[in-house]
Amino acid sequence: MELFGLAPATWLPVVFAGLMGLAILMYVVLDGYDLGVGLLLGGARDEGERDAMIASIGPFWDANETWLVLATGLLLVAFPLAHGEILTALYLPVALMLVGLVARGVAFKFRTKMAPGSKLSWDRAFLGGSLLAALAQGWMLGSYILGFRGGWDAHLFAAVTALGLAAAYGFIGACWLLLKAEGELQRRAAVWARGALLFAGLGLVAVSVATPLVSERVFDKWFSLPNVVLLAPIPVVTGLLLAGLWVALARYPRPGDRWAWVPFAGAVAVFGLAFQGLAFSFYPYVVPGSLTIWDAAAAPESLGVILVGSVFVLPMILAYTAFSYWVFRGKLGELRYE
C-alpha cells in the first residue's frame, strides 16, 4: 500500500520508529516516576512514609512497566537486526537492569505479604532494585549515544548519563509525590524535587554538550544552517522550563494544594523535549552510525500486519490506561488491598 507516493518499505519503518519512540517515552515517563519514587525511599523517615510512597504507585506500576516490554517488543519485531546488535552490545547492563526490575517488582508484593520482620529488607530491595535499574538504563543510554564504543572516556560518559538519568527519575518521582502525597511527605517531596532537578539539569547539560563533541554526525545535524536556528527552541524551552520549575518548586506545596499537577506536567515536558532532542540526533539510525531503520526493518508485509492491529489496539490501551488514572485520581494515602 502506497502512502503519499511512498512504497511501504519506505514509510513503514518510519511509522514503527515513531511507535517505538512513543513506547520508550511512555516508559521513561511512567516507570520513570515509579523508579524515582523507589529511589526516594532512601529519604523516607519511617515505615509509614514508605507505605504511603509505595501506595502512590501501587495501582500503576504493572502497566507502566509494560511499556518497556512494548518498546523492546517493537525493537524486536520491527527492527530485528538492530535488536540483536543492541542487546548483544549491552548484554551486561541489560542483565543488571533486569535484576533490578525483578528485585523492585517482587519487593512490591513481598513487603506486605511476608512476615512483618522482613519488611525492611524488602524495602531495601525495592530501593536497591530501583537504583540498579535506573543506573543501568542510564548507562545503556550513554553507551548507545556513543555507538557502543569502548575505552575509559566512553565509560566515564556512560557513568555520567547513568547518574543523570537516575537524578531525572528522582525528579519526576518527587513531582509525582507532590501530586499524590499529603502533609509532611508532600512538603519534603518539594525539597527532593528541587535537589533532583539540579542534578538532572546538570546531567542534561553535560550530555547535550558532550554528544555533539563526540559525534561529528550529531554536530553537523545541530550546528549547520538552518538547523541551528530551527532547533534552538528545544534547548531554550528546556532551559526556561527547568529554571521556572526550580523557582516555582521553592513555593510548593501551594495553599489548598492548588497547582499540584504543574511540576509533574513540567517534568513530563522536560522528558519529552530531551527525548525529542535525542531522537533528532539519531534519526534515521537505529544503531548509531551503523544501521538505519530501513537497514534493520522486518519485511513490510509483517510490519503491515502489526500496524493494522496497533491502529485499533493502541487507542484502546491509551483509553483504559486513562480510565485507571481516573479511577485512582486524587490522594492515595489509604490505598491497600490486604
Partner 1 sequence: MLEDPVLLARMQFAANITFHILFPTITIALAWMLLFMKWRFSRTGDGAWMELYRFWTKVFALTFSLGVVSGIVMSFQFGTNWPGFMNTVGNIAGPLLAYEIMTAFFLEAVFIGVMLFGHGRIPNWAHTAATALVAVGTTMSAFWIMVLSSWMHTPAGFEMRDGVAHATDWWAIVFNPSMPVRLSHMLLASGLTAAFLVAGLSAWRWLRGDRAPAVRLGLRTGIIAGALLIPVQIVVGDVHGLNTLEHQPAKVAAIEANWETQAAVPLVLFALPDEEARENRFEIGIPYGASLILKHDPQGVVPGLNDFRGEHPPVAPVFWSFRVMVGVGMLMLAVSWLAAWQLWRRGEPSPLVTRALVAMTFSGWVATVAGWYVTEIGRQPWLVYGVLTTREAASDVPAAMIATTFVGYMVVYTLLLGAYVGTLYYLAGKGRRADVTAEGPGAVPEAGEAAAEAALGRPAQA
Judged by the rule CB under 8 A, the positions of this chain that interact with partner 1 are 58-60, 62-63, 65-66, 68-70, 72-74, 76-78, 80-81, 83-88, 91-92, 94-95, 98-99, 101-103, 105-106, 108-110, 113-115, 298-299, 301-302, 305-306, 309-310, 313-314, 317, 320-321, 323-324, 327-328, 330, 335-338
Please say which residue, 96 or 207, places its beta carbon nearer to partner 1. Answer: 96
Q: φ, ψ for residue 287 (rounded to 5)?
A: -115, 115
* CB count in 10 Å sphere of residue 302: 14
Q: How many CA atoms lie within 13 A of 42 on its CB side?
A: 12
At closest approach, how far in Å is the CB of 254 from partner 1? Answer: 21
End-to-end CA distance of the chain: 53
At closest approach, how far in Å is the CB of 7 from partner 1? Answer: 16
Closest CA to 75 of 58, 57, 90, 59: 90
- Name the residue with cell 513530563: 268
Q: φ, ψ for residue 138 (rounded to 5)?
A: -65, -40
Question: Are 173 and 38 within 8 A, CB to CB?
Answer: yes
At closest approach, how far in Å is the CB of 14 from partner 1? Answer: 17
C-alpha span between 74 and 5 (Å, rounded): 25
Tally: H helices and E strands in the chain: 14, 2
DSSP-assigned letter for residue 255: G
C-alpha span between 193 and 264 (Å, rounded): 10
DSSP-assigned letter for residue 3: B
At closest approach, how far in Å is the CB of 103 from partner 1? Answer: 8
At closest approach, how far in Å is the CB of 304 from partner 1? Answer: 9
Please say which residue, 268 or 314, places its beta carbon nearer to partner 1. Answer: 314
**Torsion sign over Cα 263, 264, 269, 271:** positive
Please say which residue, 93 or 164, places its beta carbon nearer to partner 1. Answer: 93
At closest approach, how far in Å is the CB of 129 from partner 1? Answer: 10
Closest CA to 175 of 154, 158, 191, 157: 191
At closest approach, how far in Å is the CB of 327 from partner 1? Answer: 5
Please say which residue, 103 or 175, places its beta carbon nearer to partner 1. Answer: 103
Please say which residue, 43 or 59, places its beta carbon nearer to partner 1. Answer: 59
Exposed e or buried b per residue across 147-184, where buried means at least 16 C-beta atoms within 10 angstroms of its C-beta: bbbeeeebeebbebbbbbbbbbbbbbbbbbbbbbbeee
Please say which residue, 70 or 172, places its beta carbon nearer to partner 1. Answer: 70
At closest approach, how far in Å is the CB of 182 from partner 1? Answer: 15
Taking the C-alpha atoms of 198, 199, 202 and 207 in order, what is their torsion angle to the nearest 10 degrees? -140
Please say which residue, 104 or 188, places its beta carbon nearer to partner 1. Answer: 104
At closest approach, how far in Å is the CB of 241 from partner 1? Answer: 30
Please say which residue, 100 or 173, places its beta carbon nearer to partner 1. Answer: 100
Radius of gyration of the chain (CA): 20
Please say which residue, 51 or 218, places its beta carbon nearer to partner 1. Answer: 51
C-alpha span between 245 and 178 (Å, rounded): 13
292 by DSSP, 3-state: which?
Answer: strand
